[in-house]
Structure 1
Amino acid sequence: MDDKRILLILPAWNESEGLPSILKEIQEKLPGVDTLVVDDGSEDATSLVAAAAGATAVARLPYNLGVGGAMRLGYRYAYEHDYDVAIQCDSDGQHDPGYVPSLVKALDSADMVIGARFAGEGSYHVRGPRSWAMKLLSTVLSRIAKTKLTDTTSGFKACNRQMIAFFANWYPVEYLGDTIETLVGAVRCGFVVRQIPVAMRERTTGTPSASPLKATVYLVRAGFVLLLAMIRRMPQVPDLEQQSARLAGAAAK
């Protein structure tokens, strides 16, 4: 990891309570790794707390766009600041930054690496319609990606420079677009996707929303998003040298 510039992107919505401990843990476990907190239109002091807690950079969206909107900004920042690796990490403490070196190492043979909750490590479980949806998505997307994927909705993933450039220009912000559609788009455009097992922790703040009705709605929506992702026209994979030249030209004007 020492020879790579790494950025952890933390989308945050009303996470002022938990961010100080999370950022402190990142600084202790990953010295030299930069952090970008994207305040997704929070109603609390998320931005101020993140800056005071030592985040390398803080960006604030004027209103709540969801994880997709926050990550689109994050990948754009990573691309414009020439990072080698960008890693999405939750702001509620569920993702252990101690797995970051393993994610980065796995990028030696992939463009995107998913930290998978259901790959034999940890005791995280999902039941009911939500579990059925996740299993269905994993089965379908494993066949598309031609590799075993057990957690296609994970929000803990790492991307290399080419993937960063792709997401800086194309990143869906619709419901589940940041997980299902981005994964389908990456695979359809020829990027290599792999996974490594990770253990999920209990969130430090907030309350997860779960009910049979919401789980059923999730199942229906997930299927619809997958269908759209398969039929939508995908953008061309960007050429890094051409993009860098255009960016340098725009900055000089």
Structure 2
Amino acid sequence: MNPEEPDVVHPGLKLVIQIPCYNEEETLPATLADLPREVDGFSCVEWLVIDDGSEDNTSQVARDLGVDHVVRITQNRGLANAFMAGLDASLKAGADVIVNTDADNQYDGACIPVLVSPILVGEADLVIGERPIEAVDDFSPLKKRLQRIGSGIVRTFSGTEVRDAASGFRAFSRSTAIRTQVFGKYSYTMETIVQAGWEGLRIKGVDVSVNPATRPSRLVKSIPRYIWRSAQTILRSFALYKPLRFFLAIGLVPLLISLALLLRWFYFQLFTEDQASRVPSLVGAAMMFLLAVLIWMFGFLADLLSVNRRIVSDTRVMLRTAELEQLAPLAGTAHSKMGSEPTLTRPESMLRAER
């Protein structure tokens, strides 16, 4: 079997393609028209739209166009919340693999078979669709440069090889979707990669193509704001999942200041005849050194707490899996295996759900 194009249909496997939306009644028809209803390796493909408090007719348009599941959030809460609501609804719908794509039809739906292939053949838990950034005419030179820098920082912090950390076109195995948590409100793209690296999940990037832009990006309304929010997300994720390294790095700042003040004191004492008091330098050096030690102590305590966080995360996964197991009989689902991982599957059809 060609690993890039699985030609074997796994009995009962379901793919759910989720689309977070906010005021997308104009772009949604083209996005849905670009999505497949059949994908090699799956016996069932369903669409799920998350309407994040839209003020237009996004939900009705989705229903009229045959979307299988519409999740309606009454108040706009942001992309990260809509993404997590979609994962939750997809899991309850019995998805074995979940593909997330954008409602503006940025990503080529024909690339979905390539996106899910590494999961089907057991090579990855999370697959990122990597855009040809340099070839995208809709991206300014500054945005392309920021994408490269941001992806490089995420690679360093997460210990992964992802080349397009900001891509929202990605596929999740069922177990990975269950483990995924997003604490930020702005976006989910970078945080989920850092978390996946911390969890030791297998992440793979595949090349995908993009469609011409249909509207300006709503996440990147201004470059300074985008940089600030992305930096917040990266730093928060680093502190959350790798606290010891984070606080050790922060503590180096006062330590270097302390060493500089101490060297200044030695220089004036040993190599000049100036008899002026240099006590303030010594006091400042001592204070900076104590601050560095204090920060490192915080890092050590946070690292100990991260062990508890991992236990809590594992407990949450077990409880969530048990909850989904209880929901399975109500919808007539069965057990199957994809690779070595137990998954839940669903029959060909399911009633449309709406919140």
Tell me the equivalent position of 1:36. 48
Q: Which amino acid aligns with 2:24?
A: E
Tell me the equivalent position of 1:126. 139
Matched, 1:114 2:128: yes
Q: CA deviation at 1:251?
A: 9.1
Query: Where do 5+ consecutive residues of structure 1 fail to align?
Result: none
Distance 1:59 1:165, change over 3 A: same
Tell me the equivalent position of 1:6. 15
Matched, 1:166 2:179: yes
Q: Distance in 2 between matches of 1:124 and 1:33?
A: 32
Equivalent of residue 225 in structure 2, options 199, 217, 228: 217
SS for the counterpart of 1:8 is strand
What are the Cα deviations for residues 3-61 of structure 1, in whole angstroms up to 9, with x where unaligned?
23100000111111222232233246659410000111111110011001010111110
Single out whichever of 131-140 and 77-86 deviates more from structure 2: 131-140
Matched, 1:229 2:306: no
Correspondence 1:82-161 to 2 at 5 A: 82-107=94-119, 108-118=122-132, 123-124=136-137, 126-127=139-140, 129-161=142-174
Matched, 1:243 2:320: yes
TM-score using structure 2 length = 0.62
TM-score using structure 1 length = 0.85
Q: Which amino acid aligns with 2:125?
A: D
- Rg comparison, structure with higher value: 2
Matched, 1:195 2:205: yes
Q: Distance in 2 between matches of 1:189 and 1:79?
A: 20
Distance 1:119 1:197, change over 3 A: farther
Single out whichever of 23-32 and 143-152 deviates more from structure 2: 23-32
Aligned identity (percent) is 26
* C-alpha contact 2:159 2:197 (8 A) present in aligned 1: no
Q: CA deviation at 1:209?
A: 5.9
Q: Distance in 1 between matches of 2:15 and 2:68?
A: 12
Tell me the equivalent position of 2:88. 76
Q: Distance in 2 between matches of 1:229 and 1:98?
A: 32
* C-alpha contact 1:85 1:158 (8 A) present in aligned 2: yes
Matched, 1:23 2:100: no
Q: Which amino acid aligns with 2:226?
A: Y
* C-alpha contact 1:66 1:173 (8 A) present in aligned 2: no
Q: CA deviation at 1:216?
A: 2.3
Q: Distance in 2 between matches of 1:123 and 1:64?
A: 30
Query: Which structure is richer in relative contact order (CA contacts within 8 A, separation 6 or more)?
Result: 1
* C-alpha contact 2:17 2:101 (8 A) present in aligned 1: yes
* C-alpha contact 2:125 2:201 (8 A) present in aligned 1: yes
What are the Cα deviations for residues 82-130 of structure 1, in whole angstroms up to 9, with x where unaligned?
211001011111111111111111223111111011378x535633554
Tell me the equivalent position of 1:59. 71
Q: CA deviation at 1:250?
A: 7.9
Matched, 1:46 2:66: no
Distance 1:173 1:132, change over 3 A: same
Q: Distance in 2 between matches of 1:123 and 1:159?
A: 25
Q: CA deviation at 1:64?
A: 0.9
Q: Distance in 1 between matches of 2:89 and 2:152?
A: 33
Distance 1:210 1:221, change over 3 A: closer
Pairwise CA RMSD? 2.8
Q: Distance in 2 between matches of 1:250 and 1:32?
A: 19
